[in-house]
Structure 1
């Protein structure tokens, strides 16, 4: 049941973040946000660890800041996979990932599902 709550929270965070970044990021509906949350969960579980390992030297040199780039790349990959989710470019994807992480953290704290 915890997984479903996290997916719902991520979908709400995606909708809110897309609303904040309205001209550059678009999520068509809540169903699209749910699909996006599922796709992001799968990409974060499967693709992100591989990218982190492959880019470990540059991540180490940038003191972990390169992980923001990896998060933006995951968002751009999700854009290609989820119909109805659009991001205008790399920098908007990076801003989307940062804001969505903060909103997700706040909503998880409110819901009590840390």
Structure 2
């Protein structure tokens, strides 16, 4: 279980690094900050995101799931709020970072397979 979490965090870190490279308004000051941001994003996605998802389910349904991008951007913004050295300057950079990080995580899932805890 820990290995699965760490591998997901590595792909999240790669996604955040790509987002910081291509999206103006997303930045980190060191690789250590990037690694901590990825780990913190994993923890926030495991604890806070399900609560926010349930609370915003009606708007998510009304927008046919597109509001999930805003939720994911909010989770990345929450990481930036708590972690000095990692910044997201607004909603648009947050949404773009969420798209890039989500795509990177999806590719990681495809490359690594299901990785079930047997």
TM-score w.r.t. length of structure 1: 0.88
| More RCO (CA 8 Å, sep 6+) | 2
Correspondence for 2:71: 70
Give 4+ residue runs of structure 1 displaced > 4 Å after superposition.
none
Q: CA RMSD in A?
A: 1.5
Q: Deviations over 1:46-78 (max 9, x none)?
A: 111111111111111111111111111111111
Give the alignment of 1:23-38 within 5 angstroms.
23-38=24-39
* Contact 2:11 2:104 survives alignment (8 Å): no
Unaligned 5+ runs, structure 1? none
Q: CA deviation at 1:108?
A: 4.2
Correspondence for 2:9: 7
SS of structure 2 residue aligned to 1:83 = coil
Unaligned 5+ runs, structure 2? none
Q: CA deviation at 1:113?
A: 4.9
The alignment covers a number of residue pairs equal to 112
Give the whole-Å Cα distance in 2 for the aligned partners of 1:26 and 1:36: 11
Give the whole-Å Cα distance in 2 for the aligned partners of 1:99 and 1:15: 10
* Contact 1:11 1:33 survives alignment (8 Å): yes
